[in-house]
Chains A and B, each alone.
Chain A
Amino acid sequence: MMWLFLRKQKHLIDYTLSSLLRRMGKSLGLLAVYTLIVFMLASVTLFTHALRKEAGLMLQASPEIIVQRMQAGRHALIPADYLQRIGRLRGVTQKEGRLWGYYYDPAVKANYTIMTAGQVAAPLTEIIIGTGIARARGLAVGDYLTLRSQNGEAFSFEIAALLDEKSELVSADLLLMSPQVFRRLFNVPEGFYTDLVLSVRNPREVRKVVEKLTLLLPDTRPILREEVLRTYDSVFSWRQGILFVLLTGSILAFVSFAWDKASGLSAEERREIGILKAVGWETADVMRMKFWEGMIISLSAFMIGYLAAYAHVFYASASLFEPVLKGWAVLYPQFRLTPFVDGLQLATLLFFTVLPYIVATIIPIWRTSITDPDAVMR
Chain B
Amino acid sequence: MLLNPAIMALVLVLIVVCSMLMLASGFAIQVLRHWDIESGSERQLGLERRTYLISTLLIWAFSFELMSLLLFIYNAESMSGQFVGAMCATGVLNVNGWGWPTLFLKMAVFFSGAVWLALNYLDNQGYDYPVVKQKYRLLLAILPLLFAEFILQLLYFTNMDPDVITSCCGTLFSSQAEGVAAEVSGLPPRNMMLVFMLIGVIVIVNGLRVALRGRGSWLFALLGGTAFVVALMSIVSFVSLYIYEHPHHHCPFCILKSGHDYVGYILYVPLFIAAALAMSVGALSSWREKPSLTLTVNRVVPRLSSIAVIFFALFYLAAGWSVWASNLTMAEVW
Residues on A close to B: CB < 8 A? 45, 226, 229-230, 233-234, 237-238, 240-242, 244-245, 283-284, 287, 342-345, 347-348, 351-352, 355, 358-359, 362-363, 365-366, 369-370
In contact, A362 and B57 (Cβ under 8 angstroms): yes
Which residues on the A side are within 8 Å of B75 (C-beta)? 344
A-B contact pairs, 14 of them (CB 8 A): A230-B81, A230-B82, A238-B3, A240-B4, A241-B4, A241-B8, A245-B8, A283-B52, A344-B75, A351-B12, A351-B67, A355-B16, A355-B64, A366-B52
Distance to closest chain A CB from B95 (angstroms): 13
Q: How far is the CA of A355 from the CA of B8 in the complex (A)?
A: 13
Contact A344 B20 (CB under 8 A): no
A157 to chain B, nearest CB (A): 40
Cα A226 to Cα B64 in complex, Å, equals 35
Q: Chain B: residues with CB nearer than 8 A to chain A?
A: 2-6, 8-10, 12-13, 16, 20, 49, 52-53, 56-57, 60, 64, 67, 70-71, 74-75, 78, 81-84, 124, 162
Q: Is the interface of B mostly helix, strand, loop or mixed?
A: helix
* Cross-chain contact B52 with A287 (CB below 8 angstroms): yes
Task: Assess whether B60 is in contact with A343, with CB atoms less than 8 Å apart.
Answer: no
Across the interface, name the chain A residue whose C-beta is closest to B81. Answer: A233
* Bound-complex Cα distance A287 to B49 (A): 12
With a 10 A CB-CB cut-off, give which of A245, A343, A351, A358 has the most chain B CB atoms: A351
Given the known inter-chain contacts A230-B162, A233-B82, please indicate yes or no for A370 contacting B5, CB distance below 8 A: no
**Across the A-B interface, the 5 shortest Cβ-Cβ residue pairs:** A241-B3, A351-B9, A366-B53, A348-B9, A237-B4
Complex Cα spacing A166 to B10, Å: 37
User: Is the CB–CB distance between B6 and A234 below 8 Å?
Assistant: no
Contact assessment for A241 and B5 in the assembled complex, using a CB-CB cutoff below 8 Å: yes
Given contacts A287-B56, A363-B53, 12 further A-B contacts (CB under 8 A): A45-B5, A230-B83, A233-B81, A233-B82, A237-B3, A240-B4, A241-B5, A343-B74, A344-B75, A351-B67, A362-B53, A366-B52
Q: What is the CA–CA distance of A362 and B59 in the complex, to the nearest angstrom?
A: 11
Q: Which residues of B contact A230 (CB under 8 A)?
A: 81-84, 162
Contact B12 A355 (CB under 8 A): yes
Residues from chain B with a CB closer than 8 A to the CB of A245 are: 3, 8
A344 to B82, CA, bound (A): 15
Smallest distance from the beta carbon of A246 to chain B beta carbons, Å?
11
Cβ-neighbour of A240 out of B5, B13, B16, B74 (below 8 A): B5
